[in-house]
Structure 1
Amino acid sequence: MGIDLSLIWAVIIAFGLMMYVIMDGFDLGIGILFPFVPDRQQRDIMINTVAPVWDGNETWLVLGGAAMFAAFPLAYGFLLSALYLPLMFMLAGLIWRGVSFEFRFKASERRRPFWDKAFAFGSYVATFSQGVALGAFINGFKIDGTTFAGAALDCFTPFSIFTGFALMVAYALLGSTWLIMKTSDELQRRMRDRAEVSSIGLLIVIIIVSVWTPLAHPHIAARWFSLPNFFYLLPVPFLVLGVTWLHLRILRRRELHAAPFMLALLMIFLGYTGLAISMWPYIIPPSITIWAAASPPESSGFALVGTLLIVPIVLGYTIWSYYVFRDKPVAGEGYH
């Protein structure tokens, strides 16, 4: 029995995308929360919690895109065509956000409010665009053989627009719980309140998506509700409800700082797991699987060697950077 290179690459890409959602999610979440924190000093503290690591978080997005180009070139070309507009808006938002991140530190007091608004705007655009792309992917695409047969605006549907706003809720939860872990006093109390609202909001979003997708897509309904799949997958929704309940209880315990963020990550992971169950094994829904879109085994194997070398290095420097900046920043001083 040979090695299934397509399956290995699918796991690597899924891992890379999950790492991006986790690590850039709380980063973007801070920008989403910016308009709700008017105090200038508190905004500086929010920015300082991610200042040493924010640009490294996007490494995982690059890894996911490069891995798809190497292992699934058919899917890479197809998805770029089908999702061209949301992906371009996402990149524009990330670039604008990155520019504003750096410029606000150097701006005068008179100019800094402009860059604060730019930072928030870029975060909103990037997050919403990612959500639209996700919703369009779940909806599936018009396919003619192996090429995209739809129009540029096909990705904008009621469902994809909803998932755009839904992702804002998810990232706001990650951002608020990250700030609970990395801040103190009034800002931390403010973020606990925001996290409670976001946690309930994320549960509502998950319920709506869990009802909407089976109703709109019979093959997803068959995946979840046919026997014996129904009994195998039944723990997933109960886990979502249990983790949300526990998360709300933990948020009310003021002495716990890291636990809300860990539980928020678990909530996101459960949602990601549900998506994987619904879409597997299609990399171009509704009909092209990972095996049909895979590159030749020779090129997949060659690229896999380099990827298996570089991923531990990326993980290593990521863990080290977060370890070095593990403490809470001090107002007006940054990290000690």
Structure 2
Amino acid sequence: MARVYNFSAGPSTLPTAVLEKARDELLDWGGTGMSVMEMSHRSKAYVGIAEQAEADFRALLAVPADYKVLFLPGGATGQFAAIPMNLLRGKTKTCYVNTGIWSEKAIAEAKLYSEVLIAASSKDNQHTAIPARADWKLDAEAAYLHYTSNETIGGVEFHSVPDSEGLPLVCDMSSDILSRPVDVAQYALIYAGAQKNMGPAGIAIVVVREDVLGQTLPFTPSIFDYKKQAENGSMLNTPPTYNWYLLGLVLEWLKEQGGLAAIEALNTRKADKLYAAIDNSPFYSNPVDPACRSRMNVPFRIANTDLEKTFLAEAKAAGLVNLEGHRSVGGFRASIYNAMPEAGVDALVDFMAGFEKQHG
């Protein structure tokens, strides 16, 4: 069997060590004689798996004691609705920053529950730069300020925490969570789907400060009620148990890599190599302002678009797959999350140089 370098934006590549451990434990976890997939989520064995995953997540991200960590079904998209249901708390307005397609999806959902005020938007520059903070317009009466820290499709990433002017700060970190240290205390809520940087699709993590819990809209479904989920250990209903287990294995792997400071250094090195290959070539280009380029998702183009299919076919033959850009923007995109080894980026850079030499 030959493993490829998988540059998919999500579901994305997982660490080989994690897959190997899951394979070895598939039929018999911990001497129980059964797979994790077969366990009751109420069993002592599974509760131990869940509790260890939460402990590892808290340790990696240095989550303060007054925050709940929830493991929930529905992915990040489910949280687009759950956030206003939980955080409006008697208010009618919310503030959102629009930096790309995922911001827009969150905004569209929030409009079903609140009057959404667009604090800033990069739509005019085709989402290639983050609007200057001085130009943002916030409403002090809003329930919270929401932004997306990394736009998977456009390749735009916040490299610092924006000033929320006292509003509770909410962040969708789906595609860069655990890629670097974060000061959780600056946020009222952080959420992320797992399938980009933490594990398989089907589960999301919500990190929420306790003081914003308990004032949900009256029609909020129980599984979207953060307080009820917190009171039930994220097991108000049967959770996506195997996904939670795999996410836990990824957290163990991250600890073995040296934690978030070490993984950030690796991610920076990988991104620097790929951007250098693009910037130092007249053949390739990246549209994003260098000040906010993503270290997770790197979109790029070639001047002669007629060569795109050839590029993808030859890359696949070289073991480099899922480099197609999102259907809404075209071109190419290399997603180089935590689990993408540096050797994968090196192989892509070498392939790009060879392709340019042959076709440029």
Which bracket does the TM-score occupy, shorter chain normalised? under 0.3
Question: Per residue, is there more helix in 1 or in 2?
Answer: 1
Give me the TM-score of the superposition, normalised by structure 1. Answer: 0.26
Question: Per residue, is there more strand in 1 or in 2?
Answer: 2
Give me the TM-score of the superposition, normalised by structure 2. Answer: 0.25
